Amino acid sequence: MNVRVGSWSVRLAPRALLVTALLVLAGFAVSVAALSTGEFTVPVPDIIDALFGQGTPVAELIVSKLRAPRVVTGLLVGAAFGLSGAIFQSLTRNPLGSPDFIGFTAGASTGGIIAVVAGGSAIMIAGGALLGCVVTATLAYALAYRGGVAGYRLVLVGIGANALLLAVNSYILTRANINDAATAGAWLTGSLSGRGWDHAGPVALALVVLLPVCAAIARPMRVIEMGDDAAKAMGIRVEVVRAAAIAAGVLLAGVATAAAGPVVFVALAAPQLARRLTRSPGVTLAASALMGAVLLIAADLAAQRLLAPTQLPVGVLTAAIGGTYLVLLLRKDRH
């Protein structure tokens, strides 16, 4: 369905709009459940009062200082992972082309581990994760470049880099003292526990800056999915768009990993689930971001509430769910 606004023509897909709206509602419902339930139940009206600073001291402590930062961080990190995964799956034209598999998350993990072993603060660990992700992506791009970057080459180089970096991470952990190794191991699991507004802020800033970039390159990326020659024939500067997309995807994966650790499989599963729900011929960025947010916050809620009194890090649950999804994906798309 095409909608014309002045000199602009916008194509709207009713099913994609419906799925997007339902994902927004699902995210809102799960967020309310996460804010309301727990050892201390907070009714919805009290949640509203607490968020506006008009609740009881106990409700404000639980909602505004403990639960709300965790929920907001989860939504933002999930959106960043989902959007990053959608970008790389579109560029590589491969459902396995996510930061989890092409080494970028592993590079962020390496940077974070080095910062932990060096006795760095939380800010240094976050900075190390972001730097590790950027360095890994730069090296992978350079190694995959042959007059351009083909999707399959980037995936193959990334898989090799991922294996190498996992070995490096294991080596660093075996050489570290037991306290640093335990701290790094807990961070590597991926968790939203103890996350505050200082964790949510950088991810929100990154999304504010990078969402317009993603919106600008969304249409050229869809054309590039048909092939570089077809895209060039339509006047698209393929390598410029590809480089901008890789930069945006890397930064999104880096800041998300810096905030919550390397939460696995969200970037893999969210774009594919969004694509199947919208029945879109290509990867949908908006739906992928929303799906990532819903998946992560729902997994964190399940890890906290359904498995009580034991609270697992959200990365354990996403790994279990994502591993099952990966097996199903490989079984269905054997090629």
Query: pTM for this structure?
Result: 0.89
> 20 in a domain, yes or no?
no
> For residue 227, which of 327, 148, 304, 164 has the smallest C-alpha distance?
148
Give pLDDT, residue 335.
52
pLDDT at 3: 47
Within a domain: 15: no
Alpha-carbon distance of 136 to 64, in angstroms, equals 37
Whether 33 is covered by a domain: the verdict is: no
What is the sign of the dihedral through the CA atoms of 155, 159, 160 and 165? positive
CATH of the domain at 286: 1.10.3470.10
Residue 144 lies in a domain: yes
Helix (H, G, I), strand (E, B) or coil at 64: helix
Tens of pLDDT, residue by residue, the chain (335 residues): 544 544 444 556 778 888 889 999 999 999 999 999 888 888 888 888 888 888 788 888 888 888 999 999 999 999 999 999 999 988 888 877 888 888 888 899 999 999 888 887 778 888 899 899 999 988 888 888 776 666 677 888 888 888 899 899 889 988 888 888 888 888 888 888 888 888 899 999 999 999 999 988 888 888 888 777 778 888 888 888 888 988 999 999 999 998 998 898 899 889 988 888 888 776 788 899 999 999 999 999 988 877 656 677 888 888 887 777 777 766 765 55
Structural domain total, the chain: 1
User: Which domain covers residue 144, as residue numbers?
Assistant: 67-332
Give a yes or no: residue 306 inside a domain. Answer: yes
Per-residue CA distances from 167 to 158, 164, 184, 210 (Å): 14, 5, 15, 32
DSSP 37-50: -SSS---HHHHHHH
CA gap 150, 144 in Å, rounded: 7
pLDDT for 306: 75
pLDDT for the residue numbered 149? 67
Domain assignment of residue 257, yes or no: yes
Through-space distance between the first and last CA atoms of the chain, rounded to whole angstroms: 33
In a domain, 205, yes or no: yes
Determine, yes or no, domain membership for 243.
yes
